[in-house]
Every structure is written in C-alpha cells, then in structure tokens.
Structure 1
Amino acid sequence: MREAPRRHPPSIAEERRRLVGQIATVMEASAVVRDPNSRQLLLQELGHALGGALGYRELVVLRPQIVDLVTVCVDRPGGLRCLAECLELLEPGSTQTIALLLLADEWQAVELLADYDISWLRSLLSTLEATAELRRFVTEARATPAPPWCETAWHLFAHLASANSHGAVPPWLSLLDRIAPAVPQASLSRMNHLTAQLAKDWGMTDQVVASAPSPPSPTGTAYLVIQFEKYGGDDDTYIMSHWYQWASPVWQPIRGEDRHVPYGELEAAVDQVVNETERRWAKLAGAVTIEFVLPWQLINEPVDTWRKELDSPMPSPLTTEYPLVIRSLERLRASQWHRVWRSRWRGLADRVGERKLVHCAAQQHADVQLEAILKRETAVVALVLSETPTSDSVGERQLLVGLRSGVPAIVWHRGSSSTVDLCKTVSSMLGDHASGSEVTELPNRAAQLRQQAWSEDPKGLDQHIGHGFVLLFDDPDRQPVGAVHADGDRRKVPA
C-alpha cells in the first residue's frame, strides 16, 4: 500500500488565526466585555498587568475591537495569560473565563511546538480523560495542583507547556510518555514517533528513555504538614501554615495559605485544613500522615486528641484515621543542629544488628550527662523521656538535649504511664534487630497503638498507654522550610 503523503505542519500564522478567532468568539459572549463600562475596567486592569498602554485601536464594532485586543495580547509574551487572568478577576468561574484560560495555555503549546504538526495530537489527547494519575504527575511537576478545568489529557499537556521547565526533561514531554498506555493502538505508533522526535530535538533521548513509564508501583504516603508559630508579641494568636503533598519520592510540597488563629480556635482551624485537603484528594487513594510542627510553647499540646468534622453530630479523633506525629519548629530553624541530625538519620540505612536503638532517659539524667551518652551511642534513634516536658522540668531539658543531639524520634507520655512501660512499648515497636525501614515505620506503629486505645478504652478510663502517647518524629529530608507556595511563589517560613 502506498504511504499517504506526509502533511506539512500548519504554519504558526494559521494556528494564530484559528486561536485569535476562537478567543474573540469566547470574549464576545462575556457579559464583562459586552458592557462598555466593565470593558473599560478590564482594559484598565490589563494595562496594569502588561505594564503600560495597550496600543490598540478603539473601534465602533465590538468584534473587530476584540480581535485587535487579542492580537495585541498574542504579540506580547504572556499577554494572553494576563488577559485571561484579568477577565477572571472580573468574571470569576464563568464559562468564558475558563475557556479563555484553556485557550491561553493552548497558544503557549502552539508557540512552543511551532515546528511540529500537533493538530492531530490535540484531537487525540482531547479524547483522553485527565485521570487522577495524570493530574498527580502534573501536580508534582508544577508544584501546584492542576486546575479543575483541565478535564482532558490535552488540557494537562497545554497546561504544562505553558510553564517554564526547570528540570532535565520538560514535564510536558514526560507527560506524553505517561499518556502512551491510554492511546488507541491505531494512533500509538504516531504518538511514539512524535515523542521520540521531540526527545531527540530537545537533546533528551537518554533521559526520556530512562524515565519511560513502568508498571504502577505501590502507593506511598501522602503528607499534610501543619505548622504553628507565635504571631509577634500576641500571646494568644498563632500563624498557622500548612503544606501538602501526595505520595511522591521527591519531597516538594505545596504550601497553602497562612492563617492567623487564636489559641482557642486552633483545633477548629486544623479541622478546616484537613477537610480542604481531603476534598483536594477526593479522587485519589492511599495513606495520609499528618505532622504538626510545634513551637516550644505548644510542644506538649494534645494534638493527638483533636478531632475532625467538628460541625458534625459525631466528630472523630484524627488519630483514628491518620498516623499523627509532632515535629519541632526550633529544630527546623536551628541549622547548627542539622549536621548531627542528618548524620544520625543517615545511619538508619544500615542494619543495626545488636546495637542499641532506644535510650530511656533516667530521671537524674539531663543536660550534659544525657548529651554525652547520646553522643557516645550514635546508633540511638529513639529517646524516651523520663517525664512530660512541661515548663522548667527535667523532661523539657531532656527534650532539648535530644533535639540538638539529632535524635529523630523522641517519645514521652502525658499521662501516668511509667517510664518503664513506655520504654518497653517503644522497644517492642522497633523489635530486637530493627533496621532503618522499621524505624521509619514508627509513625504507623504509634497510630496502631492509639487506634487500639480508642477501640479498647474509648473514654480513657483504664488509661491505655495509647492515650497520651506522644511521638516527635523528624525526617531531615522532609522539611517544610522553603516549600513552594500554591500560587507558585517560593517563600520561606519567617526566621
């Protein structure tokens, strides 16, 4: 059979005319654009966004005026995106706004791949659903969730193509690899050919081959990290920050919006964040761990007793559903402690054999004596305090020594359980010949202990050791400091 003649890529001018026409049609239907006063406000906002006069003609007939405006935006880098965002400001969530945001992404993809025929790719990917797996990949690639209006694989592809690439392989190119298993057999050869050609032209052949999709691996752990920090000199108000990341081997969490919360409303604010995160992850399946980063003033706050769905008739403890640990804000901020912290954490990679993993602090051991013991016993990864670290107590000094000695797991009990019982419990969690993988399972084993407590002693009358069990567990490779904000800005938590 004679091969069909190869179609030449449509010129950038043809694609430009097509998209300008589609954008003009969308804007014609906008109530903001049709109203002269609202249109003037849109133009004013657009001028501010683009940094100066727009330089287009005022015409009597609406459509030619829109075409002229769109043409001006197309000719300015990022102009269409600015136009879409300004319309979103005045007409949030409208059909026209969403359509314009999608077309702005599509124009970026067309410009990026102007030397290739991607019209068939657009048609093909528009028939494929934006699955949860693809959306998760986009979230990890851009460090922000894919917009809800990205409903097809083409929308996700254009969304990635509209962003600057910082990694070795452009994420839109990696996305094509991940889409391939869902492509109909009749189109798969053409798809693979295009992917190979793009990889070759971008000088990424080796990297793309190395990152080719493999069978799905077991779902890892997702994290919600919630941090409290005193707000200035106000003794009653805290800055509550949070980060979230679905299961990924690369720690690059997304930062949510900060809130100023009075002390008495901390539990309710956490409930709001947990519910927001659960709605964000509604289409995903897997385990979630909650971590509270606490300042010294709140280090003994009973966050493990806090509940979710407070507005419901039957709120439930967070610990019945999530592994829950606390972390130290002071250790995260004290960079002079990080070398020994990382060194002790790196030791988890080795089989520890008969070496001592758990150190149970004696009542009289605090300050320099305890620090000397921990410096000598470098295999220790869990420290059990002799008492609750209340203000000016021996337990508080032991906690400080454990933090600056780099011990990743520090345990205490807020109730009446004896140190002996607590040490036996922690040692049984780790086993006699534990390895690093078993140490990192401590949050899950603490969760099982608490769940057992709630099932056997729901009112705490028998004081099951799981009630009041506190686990401070710090992984130096997963720090929220310097995380990427959900709006794309990099911000560091205040020093």
Structure 2
Amino acid sequence: MTVAGDREVTGVEGRSPARVRNELVAEVVDVLQQSNAMRNTAGSDLVLRMLGEELGAPVELERSGMLRTELLQLVERCAGFPDGLSVLVRCLTYVEQQSAAVTALRRLVDEWEAVDFYEGADLHPLRPALLEMRSRAALMAMARRASRSRTQELPVWCDTAWAVFLRLAGDNAAANELPVSMAFLSLAADQLMEDGKAEAAEELRRWNRKQALARGLEDRMAEWQHTGVALPPPSLVPAYLMIQFEPDGVDTDRYFLSHWRQSDAEGWHPVPGEPVHLHRDELPSEVERLVEQTEERWSDLRQPVVLEFILPWELLGEPVEWWNKESDSTSPTPLVLDYTVLLRSFERLRKASWHRPWHNKWRRLKEQPANSSAYRNRPGSSHFHLERELKEDEQAVCLVLSEPPGGDSPTSRQEFEAGLRAGIPAMIWHRGDCSDPAFREAVADIVQDRGLGSLLERTERWRREALAVGPEGWDNHVGRHLAILLDDPERRPGPPGTDHAPVQR
C-alpha cells in the first residue's frame, strides 16, 4: 500500500501490487522467448551490448541453458533502471525492427508505466470493455480531447482503447487538470453508454471514481465530466503532411518515399511515418494512399491541411499538385482541389552550407513582406551574375525562373542552384514554357510591387481559376502549369534545429 499526500491509494481489485508487477514481468518474458534475436546467442549478445551502452552499465546473461530463467533475470535487471524496459525494447528494435515481438513489448512497456503511474493498481478490470473499442478515428478523437489537443498522434500499436489508455497514463497534464488517462476513461465510458453498453460503462466509471477519491481528484473529475468534451476553438495554424522523394542513388528510376505528419498547433513536432522504396511510376499512387491514410488519422482535425513535397531536382517538373485523389472512383479529383500544395528543395535541405543565407532571406520575407521583392531572371543571363545580384539585393526573396527546372538543360540547373545558394526561399516557374505570355501576366499579378505577403494566396487564386474551368479545359489555363517553391527553413523534417532531412531506411 502506498500513500499520496495524506490519502492511502489502494486501487487494487483482486491482485496485489506485487502480483501485478510479477505477472507483467512474466508477460514480458513470454514475448522475449518468441523473439528471434533473443533465441540465439549472436542476436542476444548484440542486444545486450547495445543495452549496456545505453544504460551505462554492463548487462550480461548468466548462460544456464534455461532461456526463460535467463530472460527473467534480464527483465528484472532492466526494471531496476529508470526506463530500463523501454531501453530494452528500443535495443531489440535496432536488431529486429518492427517485429511482432517488438510491437507486443511496446504495449507491455506502456502497461508497466501505467501500473507505475497508478501506484500498483490492478488495471485488468478495465481491459474487457476497452479491448472492444477499436475505431481508430474514435480513439484518436478521444485522445485529443482527453489531452486538450496536446496528443496529436498515437503509435501504431495503440489499436484499442485499452492500448490508448495505457499509453496516456502518466502523460503530462496541467496542475489544475484531471490526468489525461482518467479523462480518456471518462470519454470511453460515455462512448460505451452511447453504444448501449451501460454495464461496461459503469465499470469504467466506478474504477475512475475510486481513483479520483483515492487521489483527492473528486472536484477535477466533476469539472471534467461537466466540461471535459469541450474543445478549444479551431487553430489557424495549419497541419502539414510532408512527403519527401529521395533518389535511390543506384537505380535512377527508384526513390525512397518518406513522410512526416505535423498537427501540433503549439509547436513543431513532426511525426515520421514508415518509408517505402518505390519505382518512379508508383509515386502518385503511393501519395494517394498516404493522403487517404492521413485523412483517416485526422478525421476530427479542425485545422487547414497543407501538403509539402520535398523534391529532388529531377522531379521538380512533376505536376504533383494535380496528382489524383479517389482515382478508383468514376470522378477522381486533383490534390490541389482540397489542399494548399507547396514544393521544397531536397538538395537544399541536405546542404547545410546553404542554410545561413536561406534563413536570412526567409526572415526578410516573413518579417518585412512589404519590403520584399521578386527578381525576374532574363533568358540567357549569366548564372554567376544572377547569384551575385540575388546576394547583393537584400530585398530579393523570390526568383521567377526563365526556364522550368528538372530537365536536362544545364542553364536551368545553374539558374535554380544560383537561387538556392543565394538563399532565395521562393521560386516560381511555368512547368512547360516560362516565356508564355499568360505566365508573364500571372507572375505580374503574383509578385506585384506592393510586396510578397500574399505570394501564396495569389498563386492559389490562379489555380482556383484553372479548377473552375474543369478537367475538359484546365490544361489550357496557366493556373494548371504554375509551380511554386516556398521553402521555410524553420519547418523541416525532424525536430527543430536539425540541419538535414533525416534519411529513413
């Protein structure tokens, strides 16, 4: 029995804290016994070496020929370190990647931490009802509400309300708020009531009431039940789906597609997805699948969504904005109908020596848009003089290209790289012919003299005009062929401050 403040916390129904802990240890060992790495000496030695390095203390198995006994000792040893079981699973992941054993262990580590948060309480009375709740969209919506939008993503192994409850246990809540997992449990009970499962709902509420009473949280529980489903007003900060195409490096027709989802309105915390290795012809269909999957994850999101494509040189000519959604239907629609779509430079993300001027030019565009200007490159002009003039002109933050990039023309490549080296964050071009009079007219509107604060909005207006013409005529409208690169150095894959786009293999 433990004490919280001046109140005793028991919270145990049936199983003592010691039994709860021992049974969890046994479950962890059960899974480790199914691990390919831990069943052979070479694999287990590798895991143990990495484990010892991360824990800062050597970890060895006493080889007795009885694997279960050896693994029991290993788990007990790890449990003696703060986050020791999490480190064990992480080291096993290095060797086995996303194996069934790793997924099962992640759920058990979440349960271990939840039991610790609830000070040895028996959580199993909650399992039957929570295991039946499996709607991914509903689970994500409840997690966002319970955390007051601080939880933006759930790991893939959180596929039931039981797994989500365990994951949320111990998540930070403000001093005057109900713990996130208890708020989630309250929402789960409400959902069960709506589904006509009153007995299961009452089981969750009874457990929650006991915890609230034991922890002195009765007032917070009552307040949550009165106002807990209220959400903050919709954020004006967009959510971003960033999609990166990295050249294979060997096969010129293959790419590594990586992606990151960012929906945290309070900060930049992009969540990486699983990378895939694809032929160039497969990229549009994979993007379509990824967008649909992201929409399912974000079904309750109330923010606008921006798609950003991080493209290498050879794909800059791809009309990614006009790739299809719903292509298996009788009336597919282009991405640009539903999203703001931006291009970014893969090469610039990777080349840290170009980043200082990039930051400087971006600050000018962001902080002084009215004093920013566009530079229209002249056909046949020297790329050296172009770069010199862009660097000398502090107000120049946008480059209108004289040739479309992405092709075999050395002139277009030199022009584009001059803009990157000068730190120009915005570039505009016509994907077919930059000398087209209709393009010059559109550019005159987009980069008009009063500044570049509405650069994106004006580009989108031309695209909307093309959409209004419809599929039968939009190929003849300049808005169908406008491309805009708008590269924000403060918004990159990975955590703030990384100099390179991470490689996911």
**What's the TM-score once normalised by structure 1's chain length?**
0.68
Q: Per the alignment, do residues 40 and 468 of structure 1 end up closer, same or farther by CA in structure 2, a change over 3 Å counting?
A: closer
Pair 352,39 (structure 1): closer, same or farther in 2 beyond 3 Å: closer
Deviation for aligned residue 1:409? 0.9
In structure 1, which of residues 246, 253, 275 is the aligned counterpart of residue 292 of structure 2? Answer: 275
Check the 8 A contact 1:56/1:69 in 2, yes or no: no
State the distance in 1 between where 2:351 and 2:263 align: 27
- Equivalent residues of 2:141, 2:300 under 8 A apart: yes
> For the Cα contact (< 8 Å) 1:292–1:327, is it kept in 2?
yes
Decide whether aligned partners of structure 1 residues 7 and 279 sit closer, same or farther in structure 2, where only a CA change above 3 A counts: same
User: Once superposed, what is the RMSD of the aligned Cα atoms?
Assistant: 5.1
Structure 2 CA distance for aligned equivalents of residues 232 and 417 of structure 1: 30
Residue 345 and residue 260 in structure 1: after superposition, are their counterparts in 2 closer, same or farther (change >3 A)? same
Going from structure 1 to structure 2, the CA distance change for 1:144 and 1:173 (only over 3 Å counts) comes to farther
What is the Cα deviation at residue 53 of structure 1?
Answer: 4.7
Counterpart of 1:298 (choices 315, 319, 329) is: 315
Residue 148 (structure 2) pairs with residue 132 (structure 1) = no
Secondary structure at the aligned position of 1:235 is classed as coil
Does the residue aligned with 2:365 lie in a helix, a strand or coil? helix
Distance 1:420 1:215 in 2: 48
Contact 1:143 1:253 in 2 (8 A): no
Q: One-letter code of the match for 2:78?
A: R
Distance 1:10 1:327 in 2: 55
Matched-pair contact (CA < 8 Å) for 1:135–1:156: no
Are 2:258 and 2:504, in contact at CA under 8 Å, matched by a contact in 1?
Answer: no
1:404-441, Cα deviation, whole Å (9 max, x unpaired): 111111000023464664354345346654475x35xx
Partner of 1:105: 110
The amino acid that maps onto 2:112 is W
Give the Cα–Cα distance (whole angstroms) in 2 for the partners of residues 362 and 40 of structure 1.
Answer: 63
Gaps (5+ residues) in structure 1? 59-64, 162-169, 196-212, 485-489
Q: Name the counterpart of 1:464.
A: 477
Contact 1:141 1:171 in 2 (8 A): no
CA contact (8 A) 2:387 2:419 kept: yes
Is 2:358 the partner of 1:358? no
Q: For structure 1, which segment, 186-195 or 221-230, has the greater mean C-alpha deviation from structure 2 after superposition?
A: 186-195
The secondary structure found in structure 2 opposite 1:252 is coil
Q: Distance in 2 between matches of 1:144 and 1:290?
A: 21
1:406 aligns with 2:416: no
Decide whether aligned partners of structure 1 residues 456 and 74 sit closer, same or farther in structure 2, where only a CA change above 3 A counts.
same
Cα distance in 1 between the residues matched to 2:153 and 2:36: 32
Q: Which residue of 348, 355, 368 corresponds with 2:384?
A: 368
Q: Secondary structure at the match of 1:291?
A: strand
Partner of 1:190: 216
Distance 1:69 1:230 in 2: 42
2:466 aligned residue: 453
Structure 1 residues 468 and 133: alpha-carbon distance in aligned structure 2, compared to 1, 3 A threshold: farther
Q: Residue 284 of structure 2 aligns to which amino acid in structure 1?
A: E
Relative to structure 1, is the Cα distance of residues 383 and 242 closer, same or farther in structure 2, using a 3 angstrom cutoff? Answer: same
How many angstroms apart in 2 are the aligned matches of 1:39 and 1:394? 59
1:17 equivalent among 10, 16, 19: 19
- AA at the equivalent of 1:191: L
1:425 corresponds to 2:442: yes
CA contact (8 A) 1:140 1:252 kept: no
Say which of 249, 252, 257 aligns to 1:232.
Answer: 249
Cα 1:52–1:282 change in 2 (3 A) is farther
Q: Which residue of 2 aligns with 1:477?
A: 490
Structure 1 pair 72/231, CA: closer, same or farther in 2 (3 Å)?
closer
> Does structure 2 retain, via aligned residues, the 8 Å contact 1:482–1:493?
no
Local SS of the residue matching 1:466: helix
Secondary structure, aligned partner of 2:342? strand
Asked if structure 1 preserves the Cα contact closer than 8 Å seen for 2:270 and 2:495, the reply is no
339-348 or 277-286: which moved more? 277-286
Superposed CA deviations along residues 177-220 of structure 1, whole A, max 9, x for unmatched, are 77899989x9699339999xxxxxxxxxxxxxxxxx99445242
Does the CA contact (< 8 Å) of 1:450 and 1:467 recur in 2? Answer: yes
Counterpart residue type for residue 7 of structure 1: R
Aligned to 2:7: 7
Q: Distance in 1 between matches of 2:357 and 2:369?
A: 18
Q: State the Cα distance separating 1:266 from its structure 2 match.
A: 2.0
> 2:401·2:415 contact (CA, 8 Å) conserved in 1?
yes
Give the Å deviation of 1:258: 2.0
How far 1:339 sits from its partner (Å)?
0.6
Query: C-alpha displacement at 1:351, in angstroms?
Result: 3.8
* Alignment match, 2:332: 315
Cα deviation 1:56-88 (Å, max 9, x = unaligned): 998xxxxxx99x9889846632459859999x9
**Within the alignment, does 1:221 sit opposite 2:253 as a pair?**
no
**SS of match in other structure, 2:327:** coil
Deviations 1:120-177 (A, max 9, x none): 9x99xx999966274496997798647434627743432x56xxxxxxxx57979857
SS in 1 for 2:503: coil
When normalised by structure 2's length, the TM-score is 0.66
Give the number of aligned pairs.
Answer: 430
- Distance verdict in 2 for CA 1:133–1:349, change over 3 Å: farther
Distance 1:174 1:382, change over 3 A: farther
Cα deviation, residue 346, structure 1:
1.0
Q: Does the Cα contact within 8 Å between 1:366 and 1:401 map onto a contact in 2?
A: no
Cα 1:243–1:350 shift into 2, 3 Å:
closer
Query: CA distance change for structure 1 residues 381 and 9 in 2, over 3 Å: closer, same or farther?
Result: same
Distance 1:103 1:174, change over 3 A: farther
C-alpha change, 1:174 and 1:426, in structure 2 (3 Å) is: farther
In the TM superposition, residue 225 of structure 1 has moved relative to its aligned partner by 1.5
Question: Tell me, what secondary structure is at the counterpart of 1:234?
Answer: coil
Using the TM superposition, name which of 453-462 and 465-474 deviates more: 453-462
Question: CA distance change for structure 1 residues 433 and 174 in 2, over 3 Å: closer, same or farther?
Answer: farther
Contact 2:152 2:264 in 1 (8 A): no
2:25–2:76 Cα contact (<8 Å) kept: no
1:8 CA drift (Å): 2.1
Residue type of the partner of 1:132?
A
Indicate the residue corresponding to 1:76 in structure 2: 78
Is the contact made by 2:158 and 2:167 (CA closer than 8 Å) also made in structure 1? Answer: no
Match of 1:492 in 2: 502
Show CA shifts across 1:383-409 (max 9, x none): 111232332254333222211111111
Q: Percent identity?
A: 29
